[in-house]
């Protein structure tokens, strides 16, 4: 029958790298008896980091689903990656849940990446809970961590538990709703009276809780100001309403690896985050009814036709492809026939199961709001919608970002090209941030991703899963070319040989345009100097030449070309001849027009402990970077913002690691294009010459 939709909580666990998401999910699974032994990152046996590439590196590379039951509720968790290179996956998962748990380290507070995932959760309007983790670590501070989140994201955090002691003195939590202390032994909570030394702290914290909750409700506030404390019931309701409206964010604390503070977090997930039904009542789920060609509300109820969205795919060379999906309406039975609305293809569901990491638990029927998986679907890809064939609907998908960086790759052994191609297509299905194509001209295989580490890990997976080894060649920086001055030139193509000759002749004027303006072609031919039918040919010749580049083989952008004169021959002129003339004219005008190379600049934000700040800034300067500002974060970390040429940032993940003894983190996004300095231009031109010689 599926699980009662009001009793489901679909939650993504999000944060910057290393905050403890995977460890927290592990503790949750253990405490809810979904697993028998609690694994850890250090012993390499957590449920949700199961791919060898993540086990070896000790961080999550791709998202992983898990589920557990708590107080009669089904909690579906998605452990997401926090490392900058893998956030596209995180973004995809946030579209399949109704709430998020944001994990924040009590010692380091928020990191650059946490800001990113916080923003993604904002885009989906997700209610969230913050869990301040690693409370037992030296220098842990609950208060500073909470203030850091409030200051960084403008959120109003309401502590529901506060710590008893911090760092090595951390001995448990105080539940501010029940006004009890909770201590933990082997993950088992036991409630007691609040010890005298924490009494005042607890009273003050509870007072603040009530004030914040009252502030989010006018009636409650009025009563409170008149001296009446809200009832327990009013407080609980107020917290939930505020969380759903996103005026407040409940915050709890504990230790994932110490298995402390998990049960209050589970209680809060159930009491404060919405079920799929509550969420849909607040913000209806809409999809395109492709038959009626109209938008339609998808109600999360069992008596509706089946509809679902695929949010993750795992490529497995042996078991085949695993498709992980979220049901929005209807009851889905194994072996039922659906239509993949995105691809307009029929699809038969095989055996379905719930996933705890890689462990599969078979299930026969899956209801609205549930998350489940199925093996060996033929067509389905991440982002696809599937539905009852009689009621096809299409859910909206978020477009994944363009790759930051591309590398040419080649198989180590000749003849493996096809194997590389098929393997990569399978990996593309599981990783929305990966792009793969063959360069039309060179025939090279080009693999694009979020950074060098992303590509390296992909090639590792390719080897492990599909047994083919690949070399990474030079990275392809998306350089562009443009002109800096106006210039005119003639392109005259004349060929006489035996029979019919070739003749085309044109005069063009080039003018620079502002960045981002693109290409404009203006025809100013009057009096038939060039017959009308040949004018598009001139433009075609120019456009083709622009694709090939003027000085170092990169596409030309931001230029206006005016065709203003020319001549023709009544017999010898042809489209081909004018195309060549157009292309010749452009090449000839290039030196006078001061053709130049543009390079992509990225905006970088680096978080580093104070002691490495000098190293980080010095290194950014040596990379032709422009430091825009330095800001102090909580816990003594500094955040440096800079604009740096992308070409200098290719191996930054590794470099930052060694500059900061592994404690630095960064985010990077495309910013704009700038002219390259002369010495870099010379190198690029020389490299192109070299390439031509080799070809």
Ligand X SMILES: Nc1nc2c(ncn2[C@@H]2O[C@H](COP(=O)(O)OP(=O)(O)OP(=O)(O)O)[C@@H](O)[C@H]2O)c(=O)[nH]1
Q: What does 238 bind: ligand X, Mg ion, none (CB cut-off 5 to 8 Å by kind)?
A: none
CB of residue 117 vs ligand X: minimum separation in angstroms? 10
- Tokens for 30, please give them: 């253990």
- Closer CB to ligand X, 474 or 654, in the complex: 654
- Closer CB to ligand X, 257 or 607, in the complex: 257
CA 23 – CA 382 distance, rounded (Å): 26
CB of residue 93 vs Mg ion: minimum separation in angstroms? 13
- Closer CB to Mg ion, 114 or 275, in the complex: 114
- Closer CB to ligand X, 116 or 465, in the complex: 116
Please list, in sequence order, all residues whose beta carbon lies within 8 angstroms of the beta carbon of residue 398, skipping any fewer than 6 positions away: 91, 92, 95, 383
21 binds ligand X (CB under 6 A): yes
114 binds Mg ion (CB under 5 A): no
**E strands of 444-527, at which residues?**
445-449, 470-476, 480-482, 487-495, 502-512, 519-523
SS3 label, residue 335? coil
CB of residue 665 vs ligand X: minimum separation in angstroms? 10
Q: Are strands 157-159 and 249-253 parallel, antiparallel or unpaired?
A: parallel
Q: What is the CA radius of gyration of the chain?
A: 30
CB of residue 66 vs Mg ion: minimum separation in angstroms? 12
Choices 77-85, 151-159, 234-242, 615-623; region in contact with ligand X by CB under 6 A: 77-85
Q: Convert residues 302-321 into a mask of x (bound to ligand X by CB under 6 A) and - (unbound).
A: --------------------
Choices 78-86, 331-339, 367-375, 463-471; region in contact with ligand X by CB under 6 A: 78-86
CB of residue 170 vs ligand X: minimum separation in angstroms? 10
SS3 label, residue 311? strand
- Closer CB to ligand X, 136 or 166, in the complex: 136
- Tokens for 582, please give them: 């157009």
535-548 and 575-589 helices cross at what angle (nearest 10)?
A: 50
Q: What is the footprint of ligand X within residues 112-151 (CB under 6 A)?
A: 133-134, 136-137
Choices 36-44, 114-122, 572-580, 608-616; region in contact with ligand X by CB under 6 A: 36-44
310: nearest Cα among 371, 257, 367, 230: 371
Q: Under rule CB under 5 A, how many of the chain's residues touch Mg ion? A: 3
Please list, in sequence order, all residues whose beta carbon lies within 8 angstroms of the beta carbon of residue 351, skipping any fewer than 6 positions away: 334, 335, 362, 374, 375
DSSP state letter for 297: E
Choices 54-62, 614-622, 642-650, 672-680; region in contact with Mg ion by CB under 5 A: 54-62
Q: What does 15 bind: ligand X, Mg ion, none (CB cut-off 5 to 8 Å by kind)?
A: ligand X
CB of residue 41 vs ligand X: minimum separation in angstroms? 4
Q: Are strands 180-185 and 172-175 parallel, antiparallel or unpaired?
A: antiparallel
Q: What is the footprint of ligand X within residues 42-71 (CB under 6 A)?
A: 42, 59-60
Q: Are strands 249-253 and 172-175 parallel, antiparallel or unpaired?
A: unpaired
Q: Which of 3, 28, 38, 41 touches ligand X by CB under 6 A?
A: 41
- Closer CB to ligand X, 43 or 497, in the complex: 43
Choices 14-22, 205-213, 381-389, 392-400; region in contact with ligand X by CB under 6 A: 14-22
Helix (H) or strand (E) holding 211: helix 196-215
- Closer CB to ligand X, 255 or 391, in the complex: 255
Please list, in sequence order, all residues whose beta carbon lies within 8 angstroms of the beta carbon of residue 305, skipping any fewer than 6 positions away: 329, 330, 387, 388, 390, 391
Q: Which of 5, 19, 35, 308 touches ligand X by CB under 6 A?
A: 19
- Closer CB to ligand X, 81 or 238, in the complex: 81
Q: Which of 9, 21, 206, 240 touches Mg ion by CB under 5 A?
A: 21
CA 247 – CA 244 distance, rounded (Å): 8
Q: Where are the alpha helices (DSSP H) in 594-665?
A: 613-622, 652-659
Q: What is the footprint of ligand X within residues 217-276 (CB under 6 A)?
A: 255-258
CB of residue 665 vs Mg ion: minimum separation in angstroms? 14
62 binds Mg ion (CB under 5 A): no
DSSP state letter for 260: B
Strand partners, 86: none
CA angle centred on 113, ends 213 and 625, rounded to 5°: 135
CA 429 – CA 323 distance, rounded (Å): 10
60 binds Mg ion (CB under 5 A): yes
Q: Which of 4, 7, 32, 40 touches ligand X by CB under 6 A?
A: 40
> What are residue 397's phi and psi, to 5 degrees?
-120, 150
CA 541 – CA 672 distance, rounded (Å): 28
17 binds ligand X (CB under 6 A): yes
- Closer CB to Mg ion, 14 or 409, in the complex: 14
**E strands of 91-134, at which residues?**
99-105, 128-133
Footprint on this chain of Mg ion (rule: CB under 5 A): 21-22, 60
Footprint on this chain of ligand X (rule: CB under 6 A): 15, 17-23, 40-42, 59-60, 81-83, 103, 133-134, 136-137, 255-258
């Amino acid at each position: 029958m599926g699980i009662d939709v009001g009793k489901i909580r679909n939650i993504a666990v999000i944060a910057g790298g290393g905050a403890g998401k995977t460890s927290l999910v592990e503790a949750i699974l253990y405490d809810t008896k979904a697993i028998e032994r609690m694994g850890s990152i250090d012993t390499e046996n957590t449920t949700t980091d199961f791919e060898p590439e993540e086990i070896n590196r000790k961080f999550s590379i791709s998202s992983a689903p898990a589920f557990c039951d708590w107080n009669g509720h089904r909690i579906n968790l998605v452990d997401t990656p926090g490392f900058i290179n893998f956030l596209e996956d995180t973004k995809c998962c946030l579209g399949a849940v109704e709430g998020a748990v944001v994990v924040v380290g009590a010692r380091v507070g928020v990191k650059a990446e946490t800001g990113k995932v916080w923003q993604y959760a904002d885009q989906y309007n997700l209610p969230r809970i913050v869990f301040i983790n690693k409370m037992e670590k030296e220098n842990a501070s609950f208060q500073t961590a909470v203030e850091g989140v409030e200051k960084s994201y403008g959120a109003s955090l309401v502590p529901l538990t506060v710590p008893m002691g911090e760092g090595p003195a951390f001995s448990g939590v105080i539940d501010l709703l029940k006004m009890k202390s909770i201590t933990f032994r082997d993950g088992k909570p036991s409630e007691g009276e609040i010890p005298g030394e924490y009494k005042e702290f607890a009273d003050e914290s509870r007072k603040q809780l009530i004030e914040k909750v009252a502030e989010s409700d006018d009636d409650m506030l009025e009563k409170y100001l008149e001296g009446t404390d809200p009832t327990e019931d009013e407080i609980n309701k107020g917290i939930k309403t505020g969380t759903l409206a996103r005026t407040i964010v409940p915050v709890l604390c504990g230790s994932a690896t110490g298995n402390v503070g998990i049960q209050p977090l589970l209680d809060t997930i159930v009491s404060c985050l919405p079920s799929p039904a509550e969420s849909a009542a607040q913000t209806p789920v809409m999809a395109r009814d492709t038959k009626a060609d109209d938008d339609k509300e998808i109600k999360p109820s069992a008596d509706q036709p089946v509809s679902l969205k695929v949010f993750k795919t795992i490529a497995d060379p042996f078991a085949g492809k695993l498709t992980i999906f979220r049901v929005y309406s209807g009851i889905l039975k194994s072996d039922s026939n659906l239509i993949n609305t995105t691809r307009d293809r029929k699809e038969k569901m095989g055996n379905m199961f719930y996933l705890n990491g890689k462990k599969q638990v078979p299930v026969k029927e899956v209801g609205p709001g549930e998350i489940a998986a199925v093996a060996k679907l033929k067509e389905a890809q991440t982002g696809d919608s599937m539905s009852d064939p009689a009621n096809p609907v299409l859910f909206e998908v978020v477009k994944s970002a363009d790759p930051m960086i591309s590398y040419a790759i080649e198989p180590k052994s000749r003849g493996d090209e096809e194997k590389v191609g098929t393997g990569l297509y399978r990996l593309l299905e599981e990783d929305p941030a990966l792009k793969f194509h063959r360069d039309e001209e060179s025939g090279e295989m080009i693999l694009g991703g979020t950074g060098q580490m992303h590509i390296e890990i992909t090639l590792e997976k390719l080897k492990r899963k599909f047994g083919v080894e690949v070399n990474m060649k030079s990275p392809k920086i998306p350089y562009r070319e443009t002109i800096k001055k106006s210039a005119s030139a003639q392109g005259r193509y004349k060929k006489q040989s035996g029979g019919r000759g070739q003749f085309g002749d044109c005069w063009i004027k080039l003018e620079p345009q502002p960045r981002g303006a693109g290409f404009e072609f203006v025809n100013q031919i009057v009096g038939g100097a060039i017959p009308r039918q040949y004018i598009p040919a001139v433009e075609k010749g120019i456009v083709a030449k622009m694709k090939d580049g003027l000085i170092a083989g990169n596409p030309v952008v931001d230029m206006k070309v005016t065709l203003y004169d020319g001549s023709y021959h009544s017999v010898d002129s042809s489209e081909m001849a004018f195309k060549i003339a157009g292309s010749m004219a452009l090449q000839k005008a290039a030196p006078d027009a001061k053709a130049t190379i543009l390079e992509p600049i990225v905006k970088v934000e680096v978080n580093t402990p104070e002691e490495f700040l000098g190293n980080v800034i010095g290194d950014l300067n040596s990379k032709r970077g422009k430091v825009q500002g330095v800001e102090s974060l909580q816990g003594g970390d500094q955040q440096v913002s800079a604009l740096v040429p992308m070409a200098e940032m290719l191996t930054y993940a590794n470099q930052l690691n060694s500059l900061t003894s592994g404690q630095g983190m960064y985010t990077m996004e495309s910013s704009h294009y700038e002219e390259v300095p002369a010495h870099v231009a010379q190198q690029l031109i020389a490299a192109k010459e070299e390439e031509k010689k080799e070809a």
